[in-house]
Structure 1
Amino acid sequence: MKKYFLLLVLSSFLTMTYAQKTTEQRLQEIEDRLALKALVDEFSVLADRKDIVNQMLLFTEDAKVESVNNGQAIVLSGKKQIGDAFEGFLSLFEVVYHINGQQTITITGDKATGIAYCSVSLIGVQNGKRMKNDMGVIYNDEYVKIKGKWLIANRKSNFTWRNSQLLSE
């Protein structure tokens, strides 16, 4: 009986603690969620523009990006290596187009994790033919808030499917 009572008291305390969030704390959480969504969207918009310089401002200095495609992983460390790889890859395409979808976020103070879904279209010349590559990607992110601004600390990009088609000239 004592164990049951203790469990009931502990459960009530945890419930009250959550319910006692101040309006300011709740507003901060809403602001953080909106900022994290904007961060993911800004990453995609800058990729579409091939604006690598500004895209790198969205990462921490020691960020890591892991891209997984067909079971093969490439790990990039630091803004310089990430930026060089992004610039080299995006230069292969005339058109880069991201459409972001659902995103889930867990915030713990100045750190957060998130999962975001994205559809990417890449149009470029491959083997002398103009091709369109559509891909589905799931981003598993770790974020950190530095001086009031959310940044990407780690990103694992899982390219889950791909469809290629020849475009007419």
Structure 2
Amino acid sequence: MSLEILEAKAAIREVFDTYAIYSDEDRLEDYKKLFIPDARVIIYFDGKLGFDLQGTDKVIEVFTAFTVNVKTKYHMNGQLLLNVNGDNATGIGYCKAHLVSAEDDKEYITEHCIRYDDTYVRENGSWFISHRISHFNIADKRLLL
């Protein structure tokens, strides 16, 4: 594997992990630093289409509404398999997201097991997500004690 590919994989991994940190810190406007402006994000919940979004403004709008009742977020990324080809790359990544929300004066935690099927593009020397398919394959919601 060439040094150029290793450097690209490290830079893409940073984009992948930074997305999780921005999500935890409610820095959704900073998604614009990670996605191309007209990025497409498709989200499936248990195999059913939940959202098909075009553009970072729409992504931020929907994600803001989706997390309005979430008081704490914690994303933990796992493996990320990347295939780099020049200024383009594809990746399969895994994440566990824990969301704490309040309902009826009780707190609940929802654990999501997520697979991301991503397409990346390098523009002006930086890597960005151009297309993301998020598969929320498992959701476990329970009362937080």
- Quote the residue 1:18 is aligned against: none
Over the matched positions of the two proteins, sequence identity in percent amounts to 29
Matched, 1:126 2:103: yes
Matched, 1:149 2:126: yes
- Quote the residue 1:83 is aligned against: 60
What stretches of structure 1 move > 2 A for 4+ residues in a row? 126-129
Q: Deviations over 1:127-158 (max 9, x none)?
A: 44210000100000000000000000000000
Q: Which amino acid aligns with 2:41?
A: V
User: In structure 1, what is the Cα distance between the partners aligned to 2:33 and 2:68?
Assistant: 19
Q: What is the TM-score of this pair, normalised by structure 1?
A: 0.82
Q: Which amino acid aligns with 2:20?
A: S
- Quote the residue 2:5 is aligned against: 29
Q: Which amino acid aligns with 1:93?
A: V
- Greater C-alpha radius of gyration: 1
Matched, 1:59 2:59: no
Matched, 1:43 2:19: yes
Q: Which runs of 5+ in 1 are unaligned?
A: 1-20
Structure with more strand by fraction: 2
Q: Deviations over 1:17-54 (max 9, x none)?
A: xxxx8xxxx21111100001111000000000010111
Q: What is the TM-score of this pair, normalised by structure 2?
A: 0.95
Structure with more helix by fraction: 1
Matched, 1:108 2:88: no
User: In structure 2, what is the Cα distance between the partners aligned to 1:34 and 1:92?
Assistant: 34
Higher relative contact order (CA 8 A, sep 6+): 2
Q: Which amino acid aligns with 1:105?
A: L
Q: Which runs of 5+ in 2 are unaligned?
A: none
What CA RMSD, in Å, does the superposition of the two structures yield over aligned residues?
1.2
